[in-house]
Structure 1
Amino acid sequence: MHIVIAGGGEIGSQIAKAIHKDHDVVVVDTNPEVKERLGNLDVQIVTGSITDPEMLREAKVDLCDTFIATTNWDEVNLIACMLAKGLGAKETLCFVGKQTYMDILTDPRTVELLGARIDQVFWPQRSLAREIVEVIRVPGAVDTETLAGGRLRFVEYQVREGGPYAGKELALLDWPDGSFMAGILREGRFMAVTDPGFSSLTLEPEDRIFFMTTPTGFDAIQACFAPKGRVRRVMVVGGGNVGYIVAQELLRVRLEVTIIDHDPDRCAWLAEQLPGALVLEGDGTDLELLEAEGLEHVDAIVAVTENDEKNLLVSLLAKQVGVQKVVTRVNRGENRRLFEHVGIDIPLTPRAAAVREVVDWLSPENVDHLALFEDKVELLEFELPGNFREIPFENLQLPRGAVAVALERGTKVYLRSPQLAVTAGDKLLVLTDRQVSNAVLEQIT
């Protein structure tokens, strides 16, 4: 496919990195530094405005299958998509950062007026907020995904220094029924349970462990990693779009929520929209304010301002006073490793969700990109074709760093088992290192 990405910033660059091996990609941006930043990718760079028809023609928008507008300016993205459609782009994908635009563009009346000028709208902040809420609701977990209509749950835990699993040999660990331990992530490398030598590994602090579970298995595995019970009190620092959605969703499941923002007008709006929350005007990095509002008694803190430095400071203060779960928004992807290096357990970025949504949109119809963990490990779902020959799970050959973890068959789900075979029509779930995901796609599809 010929794909034009309008905007070579944070999101545009990551999308280009994710798809350039499989598609003919052109990136359009006014910043000449984009050419240097993406110089190691097999992409064409056009330097110029994405709202200039001549620049779009140079990028061969008239021949493109998909046009993706990813700049930080909603209005620019909207105009670019309409221009691209007018020039002949087959489909246009538009990123927005404001809820008002999301509401307008998904309103049936707007869709009727605009026709098919914008085919899909993405709002990364909402995806990030929902991811945060899922993580908050599962004590001890670093990440979690609900799958197959709630019949399966994927969950990621971190091995803690001094915890019950640090220093334990994997071969000696017996996990609860209804759970399947799929592999671990260590220093950026995913090792699947089916890889040679895996069982002889010893768990180390900071290792990430991945499980696929049934609902009952999920409760049992939770008891292994979070015996203290569920989160009840949450403090949210930053009342922007992400903070608002997080607070709204947490209130919906009856958690106690305190939200702090520095803008008095925003606080007044939040208090009106979130009557069940305690809304405070102030600086989220003010330790006296945090302590006065009971920081040491909250079960989780969420730092989601638009300033990475402030989010980092809030998170470090929370860690210092012993908050058990600290979830931090990372606006600039290059800062993620820094956050992890200084001990922030759950740094999340809007771009991860954005990239996953776009890659899923561009994938073949029988392939779904269900989740991305730590930007390193991907959970894929394949609907096996009609000519797929039945084969036992244990005989399914996948590249090193990939493992089939479960399958859906009609209304039933099954965890990986030596007694189970996969066959045509099944939906097969595979956890894979991103570096070998293309090889998995080629092998199964």
Structure 2
Amino acid sequence: MDVFCVAGEGGSVEVQQRADVPHADLVIACTSTDECNMLSCLIARRLGARHTIARVRNPIYYKQIDFLKKDLHLSMVVNPELIVAGDITRLLLFPDASKVETFVKGRVELVEFPIHCGKLEGLSLSELYARFQVQVLVCAVESGETVLIPDGDYILKAGDKLHIAASHQNMEQFFKKIALRKEKIKNAMICGGGRVAYYLASQLCNLGMNVKIIERNRERCEELCELLPKATIINGDATEHDLLIEEGIEKTDAFIALTGMDEENIIMSLFASKQSVSKVIVKINEDRRAMMIDELGLDSIVSAKTATADAILGYVRARRNSQCSANVETMYQLLDGRVEALEFIIKSENAYTGVPLKDLNLKVNNIIACIARGRKIIIPNGDDSIQVGDSVVIITMTKQIRDLDDILVKR
């Protein structure tokens, strides 16, 4: 990597000056200490850095984050554990999916799910849309080692992983029609009582789910009992087979492995799968293990590192194109970074606004997946057009898209 390294303490003025922070466009503080991150960002802004991003994980600090952002002049605050908890909550609300990303402030979902043998196998995408009559769009497919943005002639095969864009209501209707809609999650068992577990349990309890947390540290159990009065807290080792059976793993709807050890999470999740738990989610700390876990048949994997990187990268891309005709609002990397999903907000008139999509000459491997206009969510056809003020979601295999017109063939 072409990186210039400076050894020293990030909270030191002298070290930051050596690193040329006064002329930096962006400073990111992501040490393991919240206080150091916030202090480093404060110093960076005082020295002249234009934008700062701090990783803040402590729930106490995060509850007053608006105050801290204003007082410390932070451009962005990233809480990896809260991001992962939100990802898991969306998966539990949509248990058919192996991944769920959201756009347009949660109104549009991009869902990944694998095709097993069934009524979808052998259909072309055109036949799929005609048969089920729901406003959805299959916008990316992973088939074996191949990743592509398909057209209507693509034939679905067993083992394909589809990425589908739709509003939440249409997505639910689609899965109901193809008979893949699992039962609603009512009971969730969480193994590990760290920060992700706290944020996740808070969200699930607020949604009315029954939550049980198994944590081996007694002091942490006592803390969780105070913080989460609606949850059941069990002091014990979740890697013990007998304890999981005793606590009713075979009756739970969802099992989420959130310890700090990848190996423990994988073993527990495999055991939960053998007990026919409807939804199993495993958190990994080392992204290199993701492919191995995928081979083991565990369908939903979450990673704090990946979620944090996506959040920061989305902010950076938004700042880079702030002078363009469309701003990047949200960005996700899909399928090991081979595909990107970006949400643009159209700020001004351009060559592509007001033009029917069928008359726009898109580059290969790009697709306009969704247009949000006011309260309307549009899965577009060739007669639709993009207007100023729209939120537009595109799926692309082109790298470093900065503006919406980057996906158009220049005339």
Letter in 1 for 2:6: V
Alignment equivalent of 1:242, drawn from 177, 192, 196: 196
> What's the counterpart of residue 340 of structure 1?
294
User: Aligned equivalents of 1:267 and 1:67: distance in 2?
Assistant: 37
> What's the counterpart of residue 181 of structure 2?
227
Alignment equivalent of 1:122, drawn from 78, 84, 98: 78
**In the alignment, is residue 383 of structure 1 matched against residue 345 of structure 2?**
yes
> What's the counterpart of residue 285 of structure 1?
239
Q: Structure 2 vs 1, CA of residues 374 and 282 (structure 1 numbering), >3 Å: closer, same or farther?
A: farther
> What's the counterpart of residue 328 of structure 2?
367
Q: Structure 2 vs 1, CA of residues 85 and 314 (structure 1 numbering), >3 Å: closer, same or farther?
A: same
> What's the counterpart of residue 16 of structure 2?
56
Letter in 1 for 2:89: V
Q: Structure 2 vs 1, CA of residues 143 and 315 (structure 1 numbering), >3 Å: closer, same or farther?
A: same
Once the two structures are TM-superposed, the CA of residue 285 in structure 1 deviates from its matched residue by 1.2
TM-score after normalising by structure 1: 0.80
Once the two structures are TM-superposed, the CA of residue 359 in structure 1 deviates from its matched residue by 2.1
Alignment equivalent of 1:432, drawn from 396, 401, 410: 396
**In the alignment, is residue 143 of structure 1 matched against residue 104 of structure 2?**
no
> What's the counterpart of residue 142 of structure 2?
185
TM-score after normalising by structure 2: 0.87
Once the two structures are TM-superposed, the CA of residue 439 in structure 1 deviates from its matched residue by 7.2
Q: Secondary structure at the match of 2:53?
A: strand
Once the two structures are TM-superposed, the CA of residue 164 in structure 1 deviates from its matched residue by 4.2
Whether the 8 Å CA contact 1:356–1:369 is kept in 2: the answer is no
User: Aligned equivalents of 1:103 and 1:149: distance in 2?
Assistant: 20
Whether the 8 Å CA contact 1:137–1:230 is kept in 2: the answer is yes
1:154-169 correspondence to structure 2 within 5 Å? 154-160=110-116, 162-166=117-121, 169=124
User: Aligned equivalents of 1:216 and 1:64: distance in 2?
Assistant: 44
Whether the 8 Å CA contact 2:96–2:182 is kept in 1: the answer is no
> What's the counterpart of residue 34 of structure 2?
74
Once the two structures are TM-superposed, the CA of residue 184 in structure 1 deviates from its matched residue by 1.1
Letter in 2 for 1:191: L
Q: Secondary structure at the match of 1:438?
A: coil
Whether the 8 Å CA contact 1:157–1:225 is kept in 2: the answer is no
Q: How many aligned residue pairs are there?
A: 395
Q: Does 42-51 or 229-238 show the bigger shift?
A: 42-51
User: Aligned equivalents of 2:158 and 2:8: distance in 1?
Assistant: 49
1:248-263 correspondence to structure 2 within 5 Å? 248-263=202-217
User: Aligned equivalents of 1:167 and 1:322: distance in 2?
Assistant: 28
Once the two structures are TM-superposed, the CA of residue 270 in structure 1 deviates from its matched residue by 1.7
Once the two structures are TM-superposed, the CA of residue 358 in structure 1 deviates from its matched residue by 1.6
1:3-152 correspondence to structure 2 within 5 Å? 39=1, 42-104=2-64, 106=65, 108=67, 110=68, 114-116=71-73, 118-148=74-104, 151-152=107-108
Once the two structures are TM-superposed, the CA of residue 309 in structure 1 deviates from its matched residue by 1.2
Provide, for residues 350-408 of structure 1, a one-character-per-residue CA deviation record: whole Å limited to 9, x for no partner.
12221222222221342212444444333212233313343222343333332101112
> What's the counterpart of residue 25 of structure 1?
none
Q: Does 124-133 or 297-306 show the bigger shift?
A: 297-306
Whether the 8 Å CA contact 1:139–1:226 is kept in 2: the answer is no
Whether the 8 Å CA contact 1:359–1:369 is kept in 2: the answer is no
Alignment equivalent of 2:164, drawn from 211, 216, 224: 211
User: Aligned equivalents of 2:249 and 2:216: distance in 1?
Assistant: 17
**In the alignment, is residue 409 of structure 1 matched against residue 363 of structure 2?**
no
Q: Secondary structure at the match of 1:131?
A: helix
| Structure 1 spans left out of the alignment, 5+ residues | 1-38
Q: Structure 2 vs 1, CA of residues 85 and 148 (structure 1 numbering), >3 Å: closer, same or farther?
A: closer
Whether the 8 Å CA contact 1:175–1:221 is kept in 2: the answer is yes
Whether the 8 Å CA contact 1:399–1:439 is kept in 2: the answer is no
User: Aligned equivalents of 1:355 and 1:219: distance in 2?
Assistant: 29
Alignment equivalent of 1:420, drawn from 352, 365, 384: 384
User: Aligned equivalents of 2:198 and 2:207: distance in 1?
Assistant: 15
Once the two structures are TM-superposed, the CA of residue 123 in structure 1 deviates from its matched residue by 0.7
Q: Secondary structure at the match of 2:10?
A: coil
Q: Secondary structure at the match of 2:225?
A: helix
Once the two structures are TM-superposed, the CA of residue 149 in structure 1 deviates from its matched residue by 5.1
Whether the 8 Å CA contact 2:27–2:53 is kept in 1: the answer is yes
Whether the 8 Å CA contact 2:137–2:369 is kept in 1: the answer is yes
User: Aligned equivalents of 2:119 and 2:250: distance in 1?
Assistant: 24
Q: Secondary structure at the match of 1:127?
A: helix
Q: Structure 2 vs 1, CA of residues 417 and 170 (structure 1 numbering), >3 Å: closer, same or farther?
A: closer
Q: Secondary structure at the match of 1:46?
A: coil
Once the two structures are TM-superposed, the CA of residue 227 in structure 1 deviates from its matched residue by 3.4
- RMSD, aligned CA: 2.6
Whether the 8 Å CA contact 1:169–1:203 is kept in 2: the answer is no
Letter in 2 for 1:126: L
Whether the 8 Å CA contact 1:69–1:93 is kept in 2: the answer is yes
| Structure 2 spans left out of the alignment, 5+ residues | none
